[in-house]
Every structure is written in structure tokens, then in C-alpha cells.
Structure 1
Amino acid sequence: MRRTLKVALLGVTMMALAACSEADQHQIRNLAMPDRASEQGPYTYELWKWAWVAALVTGVIVWGLIVYAVVKFRRRSPDEVPRQTRYNLPLEVFYTIAPVLMCVVFFFHTVRVQDVMTEVEPDPDVTVEVMGQQWSWTFNYGLGEQNVDATGYDGDYAYDEYVYTIGDGNEIPVLVLPVNQRIQFNLHSPDVIHNFGVPSFLTRMDVIPGRINHLQVTPTVEGTYPGKCYELCGVYHSRMLFEVEVVSQEEYEAYLADLAETGQTLAEPLLGGSEATTQTGLGESQSQEGSQE
């Protein structure tokens, strides 16, 4: 009977996997995670993977105890009543201590990964000023040498001159980044809380009005990746999308030169308040109060 059940289970599993497309099988192997395209990404993936392992081990133990109780203490005849047990001290100690130990282990590894993902080194290779506004993104790139001691507060920005690109309800903005360079994103918001995230980087961070959050990422694979706002920020939140293009250093510098040639140059980054171009959405011509046309 056991052998029959094992063969049946294996057959069902093989049929299910055979019915999956190549993309589905890739997702299964990745545990529904995107491919890692940043230096920090594997830390998040390893935490996610071992959380699955812990959940599976817990499930197997619980299922095993359920099956054991069903078989061991089943009624064997119509007149027989299984022995009733008020409590089982070893089991009660186990299911009290085991969850506590699991929470401690999960907490330790979560904090360790969080420290890696939020680490801010004092000398990033590139600093990008990012503004999330209702409902799109503005990206400001510095020209020339950067001052690594600048924080972005009170006008002490990392560069003396910036080029920028802005998205709107009709056009998704593109964020261009050099590969294998540590990028610092200074995150600004003029209106409500947004959240800046790139799934393939396996990291994200809140964009909060009145506060500048700092996020550092090192892209490791050239390519095009989707990015989006992860925080419900208003009626057109679904349009807060952007594209990330990770390119070589030469292509990155050429891109900045192209933006400068088109006149998209400012002495300071385009940030917040009355400088923000707040979009009211597709097909709506009336701009919100306080926005700059």
C-alpha cells in the first residue's frame, strides 16, 4: 500500500511538472522569485529559500503527527472507545518551545539580511536623486565628480550639476544605471508615501515626505528590468511604473551626455514641493494645486 501511494504521488508530481511551461518551471526553481540582478539580491533570496525549507519541515512534522494520531488512536471496533488523554506534557513542551525557537532564528537571520540590504557605504560610485510624485518618477543624475560627503539635505547635493528625466501618465520613465557600480538612491517625495522598488534587485524602500531615505544597490547583470511603486499612494498608483536599464559605464556616460544635449540640465536636482510635476492621470488636463506645468 505504501509503495502504491509513493508511485501514485510521484506520478502526479511528474505530470504536474510536465504540464508546466519552461517559464513556470523556472519560477518553481526560483520559488517564485525573479532572477537576482544585484549584489544584494542573493541575501534576500537565501532568506526566502530557507524560510520555505523551515515551513516545509514544520509541515512534515505536523502532518506526521496528525497521521500518527489518526492511525495509532483510531477506533478498532464499534464498541471500543479510544483511550482519552487529558494532556501530554512532552508534546505540550515541544509545541511551546519549538515555535519560540523558530521565531528567534527567523528574527536573527531577518535582521542580518536587513542590515546588508540597508547598509549605506560612505563612498558610493554614483548617486541618483529619485523623486516619487503622484503619479510617476523623476530621476536626477549628477554630472562630473561627486562629493561623497553630501547627504542631499539642505541643498548639499553630491554634484554641482544635474541632468534629469521625468515620467508622466502617458510615458513610463527610464532609469539608466551603470553595471557593477554601487549606486546610492536618495529618495524624495513631495506629496504622499511611495515605495521605490525593482523586483530583480530584491530590495525596495519607502519614499516619505519630509524625509530622505538612502538605498544602495550594485547591479551585476546588464539588461532591462521593471520597477514600480509598492505603496498604495492614490488613485493612479498603478501607473507609478518605471524601467531600469543596466548598461556599461560607457553607455551610461553617453546617456547622460544625450540628456545634457537636449537641455535637461539643472544646477540642482528637480525635487519636491512646487518643483514637482504632479500628474493627474491619462486624459486629464487639469493639474493639481501646487504643481508645476
Structure 2
Amino acid sequence: MRTNRRLRWAAIPVAATLTVFLAGCTQTELSGFLPGFEDVNASPVTNHTETVRSLWVGAWVVLLGVGILTWGLTIWAMVAYRRRKGQTGLPPQMRYNMPIEIFYTVVPLILVVGFFAFTARDQQAIETQYEDPDVSITAYGKQWAWDFVYNDSVDGDDVWYAGKQAEPAEDGSVDQDSLPTLVLPVDQTVKIQLESRDVAHSFWVIDFLYKKDMIPGKTNYMSFIPTREGTFAGKCAELCGEYHSLMLFNVKVVSEGEYEDYLESLAAEGNKGDFGSDYNRNQNLPGVTAPAGESHEG
């Protein structure tokens, strides 16, 4: 009884402290300090970011609870069973305790199964691809920049943007306006086909909380709906060579009218027509067809 009373009195200040701490949290802190949630009044960046946020924060809340319980029991055992004055020798030794051993087996199993189930559920939703998207784009990673092809977007033809590698100034800063930019319309379904022109890259838009590898000879896809206008930083998340750190880009989410104007501007610049796999550096991969008049043998 005395031990239970001690535990109850110890739980009161812990619960009070935790309540006060959570009540004083900002939206950024409650969102696990994830990018894209710094502004309390801003909407999620895409239709998937809230799902990722919930999974992330939920997992950390559970892990924090497990940590507090484990630390609490450890400290309690250290205090309750410490050596008293005048005690000698070893304390009574216990060979096993079946209820505790069952608890230590079942609870971690429940946690692992729970984490797997929620992750699989959210991954299934995020990885479901749109079959008939409003916008279809092919993104090519290359050492060390990006090409963006807007498929069948102007008079039934592709228009494209060929990016260049970032060039830092002497102080290490990078001119954001010179970075490759992927333009997307807000509140439209988008499907991006991810390809590599040379080595393995990874397409990562930080505020989207979502990235995917670009592997030579393999096509990956990602589908989402941009739900907030603005400019969002992107980068390659796969070590791809000497200038990997300069393989930067931006995603600019605009209104549908601005998006259509941008596509027309690309066509007016002459960036219209095929800009696909014929421009890949790797021309000896399975499924790659050589341009007319060229041979990849030897």
C-alpha cells in the first residue's frame, strides 16, 4: 500500500508538468518540428503532408510514453531498492517472474504491429497513383541538375525545362532564381514520372515530406495534389557524385492561369517537342532504344 501511495504522489507532478508543457507548445512543436508547418495559419503543402505529420507525431508520442514509463520504473527501482544503512551481502535473487516476462514480450509486440499497421495504411494512401491526373510531368535527375518535361501540355506536345547545376557565390550562398524550377498548379492532381539520365538520384521536396529514388533503368512515380501556393525547396537526397550538394531545385506552386502561361512561355522559347530518354547519358540500359543512326554496341 505504501508503495502504491508513493507511485500516485509521484505521478501527480509528472502529469501536471506534462500538461503545462503541452499547453505551451506552438503549432511547430505540436507538428514535431516538421518543415511546412512553421506557420500556424498556413494550410498543408500537399494532400499528403497532414498524413505524414500525424504518423510522425503519433509515433513520437507513443515512444515518449514508453520512454517515460521505462525511465520512471528504472529510477523508482533505484530508489525503492537501494542499499540501506547496515545492509550487507546481496539482496534476494529472483529467478523469473512470469507476468513481467509476458508483459515485456506482449507490449513490444503490440507496439511493433501497431507501427507497421499505421505505416502500411498511410504508405498505401500516399503511394496510390492517379491514373488520369490533371498534370503529367517527367522529372529527370542528372549530374548535377534537373530536367522537367510537361507531357502533352501545349497543343498535344511536350514542353520542357532544362536545368543547370547550382553555382554558389564566394560566401557559399546560392541564387535561388537561377535554380531549376518545377512549376505546378495548385489544387490539381499531379503525377510525376521519375527518371535518371545517369546515376542514382533522389527527388526530395522538403516541405512535401516526401522523396523518392530515381534509379537508372527503373521508373518510379509519385502522385499528390499541391494545396498551398508558394515556392518550396528541393534537392537530391542520394549521394550522386562530386557536386551532389549543388543538385538543388525549387518547386513553385501557382494558380492554374499562371501555370498555363508558364507552359506557353516554354513553348515560345522553343522548348517544345521530345526531350526524353534520347538525352540520357546511359544508352546501354535494358529497354533504352538508341537514336536513329547510332549504335550502343562496343
Measured against the shorter chain, the TM-score band is 0.7 to 0.9
The alignment status of 1:40 with 2:45, answered yes or no, reads no
- Counterpart AA for 2:97: N
Task: Say whether the 8 Å CA contact 1:188–1:271 is kept in structure 2.
Answer: no
The alignment status of 1:162 with 2:153, answered yes or no, reads no
Q: Distance in 1 between matches of 2:66 and 2:276?
A: 49
Deviations 1:228-259 (A, max 9, x none): 11111112111111101100000000011111
Tell me by how many angstroms 1:65 deviates.
1.3
Q: Distance in 2 between matches of 1:67 and 1:136?
A: 53
Q: Distance in 2 between matches of 1:56 and 1:31?
A: 12
Task: Say whether the 8 Å CA contact 1:73–1:83 is kept in structure 2.
Answer: no
Tell me by how many angstroms 1:276 deviates.
5.6
- Counterpart AA for 1:213: N
Q: 2:221 aligns to what?
A: 214
Question: Which structure 2 residues correspond to residues 155-234 of structure 1 after superposition, within 5 A?
Answer: 160-169=156-165, 170=167, 171-234=178-241
Unmatched runs of 5 consecutive residues or more in structure 2: 1-8, 37-43, 168-177, 283-298
Q: 2:30 aligns to what?
A: 29
Q: Distance in 1 between matches of 2:159 and 2:151?
A: 6
- Counterpart AA for 1:226: A
The alignment status of 1:117 with 2:113, answered yes or no, reads no
Q: 2:41 aligns to what?
A: none
Unmatched runs of 5 consecutive residues or more in structure 1: 19-23, 146-158, 278-293
Tell me by how many angstroms 1:40 deviates.
1.1
Q: Distance in 2 between matches of 1:50 and 1:93?
A: 25
Q: 1:56 aligns to what?
A: 64
Q: Distance in 2 between matches of 1:221 and 1:42?
A: 13
Question: Which structure 2 residues correspond to residues 77-88 of structure 1 after superposition, within 5 A?
Answer: 77-80=85-88, 81-88=90-97
Task: Say whether the 8 Å CA contact 1:40–1:217 is kept in structure 2.
Answer: yes
Q: 1:151 aligns to what?
A: none
Tell me by how many angstroms 1:143 deviates.
4.3
Q: Distance in 1 between matches of 2:121 and 2:108?
A: 20
Tell me by how many angstroms 1:41 deviates.
1.1
Q: 2:270 aligns to what?
A: 263
Change (3 A) 1:138 1:121: same
TM-score between both structures, scaled by the size of structure 2: 0.77
- Is 185-194 or 246-255 further displaced after alignment? 185-194
- Counterpart AA for 1:198: V
RMSD of aligned Cα (Å) = 2.8
Q: Secondary structure at the match of 2:222?
A: strand
Q: 1:126 aligns to what?
A: 135
- Counterpart AA for 2:96: Y
Deviations 1:193-240 (A, max 9, x none): 111121221212111111111110100000110011111111211111
Q: 2:102 aligns to what?
A: 93
Task: Say whether the 8 Å CA contact 1:172–1:241 is kept in structure 2.
Answer: yes
Match of 1:76 among 79, 84, 92: 84
Task: Say whether the 8 Å CA contact 1:228–1:240 is kept in structure 2.
Answer: yes
TM-score between both structures, scaled by the size of structure 1: 0.78
Tell me by how many angstroms 1:190 deviates.
1.9
Q: Distance in 2 between matches of 1:187 and 1:216?
A: 11
- Counterpart AA for 1:162: D
Q: Distance in 1 between matches of 2:101 and 2:153?
A: 65
Deviations 1:123-157 (A, max 9, x none): 11100011001111100113448xxxxxxxxxxxx
How many residue pairs get matched? 252
Tell me by how many angstroms 1:188 deviates.
0.8
Deviations 1:159-200 (A, max 9, x none): 841111122124410110000001000111121111112122
- Is 65-74 or 120-129 further displaced after alignment? 65-74
Q: Distance in 1 between matches of 2:270 and 2:257?
A: 21
Higher relative contact order (CA 8 A, sep 6+): 1
Q: Distance in 1 between matches of 2:140 and 2:105?
A: 47
